[in-house]
Amino acid sequence: MARVYNFSAGPSALPESVLAKAASEMLDYEGSGQSVMEMSHRSKVYQSIIDGAEALLREVMQIPDNYKVLFLQGGASSQFAMVPMNLMTGSGKADYVITGQWAKKAYKEAARYGQANVVASSEDKTFSYIPKLDPATFTPDADYFHICMNNTIYGTVYNELPETGDVPLVADISSCVLSKPIDVSKFGVLYAGAQKNMAPAGVTVVIIREDLIGKAMDITPTMFNYQTHADNGSMFNTPPCYTIYMMKLVLEWLRDEIGGLQNMQAINEKKAALLYDYLDNSKLFRGTVVPEDRSLMNIPFVTGNDELDAKFVKEAAAAGFVNLKGHRSVGGMRASIYNAMPLEGVEALVAFMKQFEQENA
Ligand SMILES: *Cc1c(COP(=O)(O)O)cnc(C)c1O
C-alpha cells in the first residue's frame, strides 16, 4: 500500500491512525456485532457515540456551557441561509466582510432575507489580504456581524477579530476549526463543515450561544431552525451517523495523540513556517498573500508562469504530492496543510520544490 501526501483543500487527508481504527471497527463496533454505518441512531450504543463526540468537542475547544453544539447537514453552505433566517430578526440588518468566495456567498444569501451590508472587501487585490476594519463603519444595531475566518481559496486568515461590541460575531471556521485554540466566548455563532479539519464530508458543526436560539423567521423551514436541533440533541431526524463517529475518532486523536489544540497549533505553525520560509527565499516560487494575513492551513503560491505552474503540479503528483493545483478561480498552486498533514509531508514537499527550482531555474 502506498499512500500519497494529499494537499487537497477539502475533502482532505485524515490522520492515518484514525482511518486504521475505523477500519478495525468496521464490521463490529465494540462488540455490537454491527458497523456504526448500520446501527439505529436511536440505539444506546449510537447515543454514546454522538454524546462522546459532543463531549470531546467541548473539551478540546473549551466550549462554554451557555453554548449549544449542533451536528447538522447541508454543509457550511447551508449556514449561509440558516444564519440570517435565525438571527436577522431584530433590526433585520447584518454586516459582512467580503474576504473571498465563501464570504461573498454568505453575504449574497443573507441579502435575500434582510439588509446585508458590506463593511469591507479585499476583492480589489484578489482577496490576498484581510481588510483593515473601522468599527465606525459597522452597523450599530445589526443583528450580527459575519466573517469568514480562514479563506480557504485565497489563504488568508484573521489574526485579530473585529470589535463588534454587543453585536454577535458569526464566523465561518470551516477551514481553520481545530487548528489552534479559539476563544468561543467572543462569538455568537461558529460554524464549520467537517471535511477540512474534522471528519469526512457530511456533518456541519454549529456552536451557538443559547440566547441566539429561538428567534427564527416564521418562514424558516423546520429543518433550518436552530431551535429544532437544539431541542432534540441533533436527533430531530437521522444525523450523519458515521461522519459523527469519524469526528469522534479525530477528536480522540487530537486530544490523546497530539495533546490538544495548543500542541496542534505549535505543529501547524512549524509546518506553515517551513513552507513560507522557503517561498520567501525561493527565486522561482512566491506566496500570494501579504505576510501579516497568511493562513496556517491553506498556502497558495505561484511561479508567475502558467506553463511552469502546470508542469510543477504534474511532476509533483507523479512524485506523490497530490492536489496541489490552485483553486480554478485563482490558478497557480495551493498546499492545504490541515491538521492531518504530518510535518514530514511538508518537509518532503519543500525538498521536492527545491529540486524543481534547481531543475527549472
Ligand atoms: C469548504 C468551505 C465552505 C463550503 O463548505 P460546504 O460544506 O461544501 O458547504 C464554506 N466556507 C469555507 C470557509 C470553506 O472552506
For residue 214, give every residue at least 6 positions away whose Cβ sits within 8 Å of its Cβ, in sequence order, or none: 226, 227
User: Can you name the CATH fold of 17-257?
Assistant: Aspartate Aminotransferase; domain 2 (3.40.640)
Grid cell locating 333: 498552486
306 is catalytic: no
Gap from CA of 361 to ligand 1 centroid (Å): 37
Yes or no: domain 260-360 corresponds to CATH 3.90.79.10:
no
Grid cell locating 357: 527550482
| Atom number of ligand 1 nearest to Cα 100 | 13
* Candidates 180, 196, 248, 271; catalytic one: 196
What pTM value is reported for the model? 0.98
Classify the C-alpha dihedral 177-179-184-188 as positive or negative: negative
* Candidates 68, 93, 95, 102; catalytic one: 102
Contacts by residues 122-129 (CB-CB < 8 Å, ≥ 24 positions apart): 122/98, 122/156, 123/98, 126/154, 126/288, 126/330, 127/99, 127/100, 127/151, 127/153, 127/154, 127/156, 128/154, 128/156, 128/288, 128/289, 128/290, 129/156, 129/289, 129/290, 129/292, 129/293
Q: Comparing 17-257 with 260-360, is the CATH topology the same?
A: no
Closest residue by Cα to atom 11, ligand 1, is 102
Please give the chain's pLDDT, 361 residues, in tens: 789 999 999 999 999 999 999 999 999 999 999 999 999 999 999 999 999 999 999 999 999 999 999 999 999 999 999 999 999 999 999 999 999 999 999 999 999 999 999 999 999 999 999 999 999 999 999 999 999 999 999 999 999 999 999 999 999 999 999 999 999 999 999 999 999 999 999 999 999 999 999 999 999 999 999 999 999 999 999 999 999 999 999 999 999 999 999 999 999 999 999 999 999 999 999 999 999 999 999 999 999 999 999 999 999 999 999 999 999 888 899 999 999 999 999 999 999 999 999 999 8
231 is catalytic: no
Name the residue of 102, 127, 177 whose CB sits within 8 Å of the most ligand 1 atoms, as the mutation to test its pocket.
102
Q: Where are the domains of the chain?
A: 17-257, 260-360
